[in-house]
Amino acid sequence: MEQYTYDDLNNMQIDVLKELGNIGAGNAVTALSSLINQKVDMATPKVNILDFKDVANVLGGEERQVAAVLLNVTGDVNGIMMFVLDIADATRLVNLLMGMESTDDKLSEMQISALQEIGNIIAGAYLNSLAQLTNKKMIASVPYLAMDMAAAILSVPAIEFGKIGDTVLLIQTDFGDEVDKVQGYFLFVPDIDSINIVLGSLGVI
């Protein structure tokens, strides 16, 4: 079997992946918006093909403190879905949802569970819309949460993709609510075979 690399993707295929990011994130943002009862806007998705050393830049630098909910995706499509927020924004999001006022930057067990569940709902909305569109099976794992430095968190998808190549493809969509209390990112990192499957299902390969 021929070994594809991300460099083989042409502009049209990149555009299709961006559109998938658009649809996935659009649904995810709608879910988030109804959770917190606020209008949430999103930016145009970016398809980043990055060297490992540059991966952390998508989250604003290696040492930036972020909260990330990660779901492993299996089925016809394999990859990693992440929902990432600044630690401060994660706290605000949980407070918005639970109607709490906490100034403590350390989240309680209950707040952590809530954040995982938010990630679960939102990432689920993203993946479900893609599964419907492509008619491919995408099974999400339970949500896993980590709060740490951006580079340390991104080492997880990077290592996974390091097994097959020297770049990582991230479909990144930034979002923010109207009052700028909560800003974050969706990162969908499909493996190269899955990209071929998805593009094939849409007839652009």
Partner 1 sequence: MSTVIKVGMADLKTCKYPDRLTTLGLGSCVGIVLYDPITKIGGLAHAMLPDSKLINNNQNIAKFVDTGSKKLLDDMIRLGANKNRIRAKLAGGAQMFKFDTSSDLMKIGYRNAQAAKANLAELGITIVAEDTGENYGRTIELNTENGDLIVKSIGKGIKTI
Q: Which residues bind partner 1 (CB under 8 A)?
A: 3, 51-56, 62-63, 65, 70, 72, 144-156, 158-160, 162-166
Which of 33, 52 has the CB closer to partner 1? 52
Which residue, among 170, 171, 70, has the nearest Cα to 123 in the 3D structure? 70
Shortest Å, Cβ 125 to partner 1: 21
Smallest separation, CB 10 to partner 1 (Å): 22
H or E stretch covering 167: strand 167-177
Task: Please give the single-letter amino acid code of residue 123.
Answer: A
CB nearer to partner 1: pick between 49 and 152: 152
Query: Can you tell me the distance from the alpha carbon of 107 to that of 165, in angstroms, rounded to the nearest whole number?
Result: 37
DSSP of 3-57: ---GGG--HHHHHHHHHHHHHHHHHHHHHHHHHHTS-EEEPPPEEEEEEGGGGGG
Kindly tell me which of 40 and 154 has the beta carbon lying closer to partner 1: 154
Least Cβ distance, residue 150 to partner 1 (angstroms): 6
Q: What's the closest the beta carbon of residue 78 comes to partner 1, in angstroms?
A: 12
> With respect to partner 1, which residue has the nearer C-beta, 121 or 151?
151
Q: How far is the CB of 195 from partner 1 (least distance, A)?
A: 16
Residue with smaller CB distance to partner 1, 117 or 160: 160
DSSP string, 100-136: -----SSPPHHHHHHHHHHHHHHHHHHHHHHHHHHT-
